[in-house]
Amino acid sequence: MKPLVGITAWKRSLATSLGTESLQTLSSYYSDAVIAAGMDPIMFPAGQSPDTAERFLSLVDGLVLSGGDDIDPTSYGSERTAAKNFEEEVDLFELALIQAARRHEIPVLAICRGLQILNVALGGTLHQDMLASGTVHEPITPDDEPDEINARRHVVTFESDSVVGHLYGATEAKVNTLHHQSIDSLAAELVVEAYTDDGHIEAARCEGNWWALGVQWHPERMDSSHQHLFVAFRNAIEDSQTG
């Protein structure tokens, strides 16, 4: 049987034929990447009660924390300065999912916002707007065309002993540029896997027996050379089931 993987959704207000509605959305890039790596995906609606996290995770073998809006700075003890479009209920549900996954050692692949909230769940903090001071990441503006945004790339350098570097079989890679928040103080349980030329953390993993790996870029939106991350995630699930 293929591993069953839960993917967190993005709660957004979008225009429909019935007017503007609050929708649970999930890009097919995520589900396609999970399926291509030999797993079956199901969607976890955003903003559920934290009390339901254990039940949701009991249904699956692994968890993908997807991208989305910002994280409420109060969740990591900071004042709200540059963060935007955050919802407390969305954060609380995902934080509960992470803690439950940690308790049960359910493998986690964290992407973009996913890495950020993984860091927060384990005690780290975030840059609310890393683009404010100027970085290798180009800011996204309302005038930018989708094709232009998706085509943007920057270089990440892998640590010499990193899991991600081993998966890519390289010392560095070009990745997409689709975020404006990033890790500030790294959670004590995480170790850096990759960083940008100007020092921003782009990938991290959890130390110990729990397989939890996060990247700041969107591998699901890139070519097949980035599929190694999803295959490694599947392998971690299979190892956890036989270990």
Separation of alpha carbons 167 and 182, rounded Å: 22
Catalytically annotated residue among 94, 112, 179, 200: 112
Non-local CB neighbours of 70 within 8 Å, separated by 6+ positions: 83, 84, 85, 86, 113, 128, 181
Separation of alpha carbons 9 and 228, rounded Å: 22
Catalytically annotated residue among 94, 193, 202, 220: 220
Q: What is the pLDDT of residues 112-171, one digit of tens each?
A: 999 999 999 999 999 887 665 556 666 666 666 777 767 778 899 999 999 999 999 999
Residues of the chain with pLDDT under 50: none
Q: What values do phi and psi take at 39, rounded to 5?
A: -130, 165
User: Model pTM?
Assistant: 0.93
The angle, 0 to 180 degrees and rounded to 10, between the axes of the packed helices 88-104 and 113-121 is 70
Spatial contact of 187 and 123, defined as CB atoms under 8 Å apart: yes
Is 137 one of the catalytic residues?
A: no
Sketch the domain layout of the chain as residue ranges.
Answer: 4-242
- CATH number of the structural domain 4-242: 3.40.50.880
Separation of alpha carbons 162 and 144, rounded Å: 34
Catalytically annotated residue among 154, 180, 218, 226: 218
Is 218 one of the catalytic residues?
A: yes
Is 112 one of the catalytic residues?
A: yes
